[in-house]
Amino acid sequence: MELTTVWFALIAVLWMGYFALEGFDFGVGMLLPVLSEDDRERRVMINTIGPVWDGNEVWLLVAGGATFAAFPEWYATLFSGFYLPLLLILLALIVRAVAFEYRAKGKGEQWKRRWDAAIILGSFLPSLLWGVAFANILRGVPIDADKEYAGGFFNLLNAYALLGGLTTLLLFLTHGAMYLALKTDGDIRARARALAVKVGIAAALVAVVFLVWTQVRTGDVGSAVLFVLAALCLVAGLAAILRGREGWAFAGTFVAIAVAVAGLFWALFPDVMPTTLSDGVSLTTSNASATHYTLTIMTVVAVIFTPLVLCYQAWTYWVFRTRIAVHHLPPDPHEAPAG
């Protein structure tokens, strides 16, 4: 197998990990105003992702770095053509990270409400825009003979891409609700289980339409198998949450998202960014890749360090595996004493 194919597959794995892991903490962020009735419940929800959200974002950093090093032409065209949506995602992630840190550092309900709004918006925008961006990559964008993006921002706002954005948004909401049902106890747990079913049904319907559309456009037998497997895992997750099996339910949405992303990359290969112009040039794993020497060095580094990162992140999830409820919270130092 050529190293270009190996690194395309590795980048696909990184995006699978990012969407499956960051997806649930995006979902938790968006559900703050939906599943909480007071500040203590909002604190519980934030604490469920507090130890892991920044580690989940490492997958995005590594995916971006790997794309830059392994496929520089792909990276250059992608970040120049998708500049505005990617900038909005970056700003949303920055604001969201600041909000997690600053929310508990001020006094008053208004202070917390403002940072809660930043967490909600910082979770909503990436959830929507990542789907829009990936759908456009699959659909194809105007790339000229010089391998440069020749379109504008509104080229990216087409029906297929917007459906892709709605798909990731609903899947992340479902994934977040499953995670909260798994990681909390009491009223939040009950509300999360009920909401996971409702949002999950909507997510399943929208996802099926998007994946069928993708299959018709660019898919083959391999992508069809992966899409069907993803749909079955999502349905299994919904069935598990109805039976109160939160662990299996979360595993179902986790695998569904990861396998769906794998199917999208399968449908894209060997292109990395197809063109819609008749006289343009599609970027492929061959004409967008770095040199063989570069890919060889990257492979050696990946073989050494990837297991270490995976072990550390798995250990983090194991340490913080217990459920959280309102009665577990210490008193808020900024909260006025009763009476």
Q: Is 105 helix (H, G, I), strand (E, B) or coil?
A: helix
User: Which of the four pLDDT bands, split at 50, 70 and 90, describes residue 104?
Assistant: confident
Q: Tell me which residue of 316, 272, 282 sits closest to 150, measured CA to CA.
A: 282
Q: How large is the average pLDDT for residues 141-150?
A: 87
Check whether 335 has a pLDDT greater than 70: no
Residues 6+ apart with CB under 8 A from 136: 82, 155, 156, 158, 161, 164
pLDDT tens column, 244-272: 999 999 999 999 999 999 999 999 999 99
- Structure tokens that stand for 271 in this block: 């292109």
Q: How large is the average pLDDT for residues 112-129?
A: 95
* Residue 198 falls inside a structural domain: yes
* Residue 209 falls inside a structural domain: yes
- Whether residue 192 contacts residue 28, with contact meaning beta carbons closer than 8 Å, is answered with no
H-only helix segments in the chain: 3-30, 32-35, 39-49, 53-70, 72-81, 83-102, 109-139, 159-183, 187-218, 221-242, 246-268, 292-319
> How much is the pLDDT for 119?
96
* Residue 329 falls inside a structural domain: no
- Structure tokens that stand for 253 in this block: 């949405």
Q: How far apart are CA 321 and CA 316, in angstroms?
A: 9
Average pLDDT of the chain is 91
> How much is the pLDDT for 130?
96
- Whether residue 100 contacts residue 50, with contact meaning beta carbons closer than 8 Å, is answered with yes
Check whether 206 has a pLDDT greater than 80: yes
Higher per-residue pLDDT: 279 or 70? 70
Q: How far apart are CA 227 and CA 36, in angstroms?
A: 34
Q: How far apart are CA 102 and CA 89, in angstroms?
A: 20
Q: How far apart are CA 195 and CA 229, in angstroms?
A: 24
Check whether 294 has a pLDDT greater than 70: yes
> How much is the pLDDT for 37?
87
Q: How far apart are CA 177 and CA 182, in angstroms?
A: 9
Which of these ranges, 14-18, 148-152, 182-186, 287-291, has the smallest mean pLDDT?
Answer: 148-152
Domain CATH code at residue 21: 1.20.1630.10
- Structure tokens that stand for 207 in this block: 């996802």
Residue 104 belongs to what domain range? 3-323
- Whether residue 247 contacts residue 182, with contact meaning beta carbons closer than 8 Å, is answered with yes
Higher per-residue pLDDT: 326 or 25? 25
Q: Tell me which residue of 122, 125, 86 sits closest to 101, measured CA to CA.
A: 122
Higher per-residue pLDDT: 197 or 1? 197
Could you give the percent of the chain with pLDDT greater than 90?
71
Burial of residue 250 (CB within 10 Å: 0-12, 13-18, 19+) is buried
* Residue 7 falls inside a structural domain: yes
* Residue 78 falls inside a structural domain: yes
* Residue 60 falls inside a structural domain: yes
Q: How far apart are CA 80 and CA 48, in angstroms?
A: 36
* Residue 253 falls inside a structural domain: yes
- Structure tokens that stand for 217 in this block: 């456009």
Q: How far apart are CA 334 and CA 104, in angstroms?
A: 8
For the chain, how many structural domains are there in total? 1
* Residue 331 falls inside a structural domain: no
> How much is the pLDDT for 338?
37
